[in-house]
Structures are given as structure tokens and as C-alpha cells.
């Protein structure tokens, strides 16, 4: 099975934010992917890499829910 591209991942998380849960760690560390998921559902933040869970940019998106 081939690995999904970042563009494919962005498409998936923009429609199903909790898909972040099943992603490889490298995508959970990608700020753009995490922000896309969190914009749709703030609960997705819990599946992001710890390094992004306190990122001010991501937290500001989450607080606008």
C-alpha cells in the first residue's frame, strides 16, 4: 500500500478531523494538517503531536469554534 501524500491527508482531515487519530506521527507533527483538523473539530487537537498541542496559532483556531 502506498503512503498518502500531504495533499491527500489535508483533504481527509478537512472532511473528517478525527482521522488525525490514525495518521502516522509525521503527519501529527505537521502544523498545517493539525490546524486543518482542529478548525473542523477542536477535539482533534488531542491527537496532534505534543509539540503542537500548545501552539498559540492552533489554540487560537480551536478557541474560535
- The answer to the question of residue 30 being in a domain is yes
- The answer to the question of residue 50 being in a domain is yes
Give the domain range for residue 52. Answer: 6-62
- The answer to the question of residue 1 being in a domain is no
- Give pLDDT, residue 51: 96
- The answer to the question of residue 31 being in a domain is yes
Give the HSE-up count for residue 56: Cα atoms under 13 Å, Cβ half-sphere.
0
- Give pLDDT, residue 29: 97
- Global confidence as pTM: 0.87
- The answer to the question of residue 15 being in a domain is yes
**What does the pLDDT look like over 1-13, one tens digit per residue?**
578 899 999 988 8
Alpha-carbon distance of 23 to 13, in angstroms, equals 10
- The answer to the question of residue 37 being in a domain is yes
- The answer to the question of residue 35 being in a domain is yes
Number of separate domains in the chain = 1
**Residues 58 and 31 sit within 8 Å (Cβ to Cβ):** yes
Amino acid at each position: 500500500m502506498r503512503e498518502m501524500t500531504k495533499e491527500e491527508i489535508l483533504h481527509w482531515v478537512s472532511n473528517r478531523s478525527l482521522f488525525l487519530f490514525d495518521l502516522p506521527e509525521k503527519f501529527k507533527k505537521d502544523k498545517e494538517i493539525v490546524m486543518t483538523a482542529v478548525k473542523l473539530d477542536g477535539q482533534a487537537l488531542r491527537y496532534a503531536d505534543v509539540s503542537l498541542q500548545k501552539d498559540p496559532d492552533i489554540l487560537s483556531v480551536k478557541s474560535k469554534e
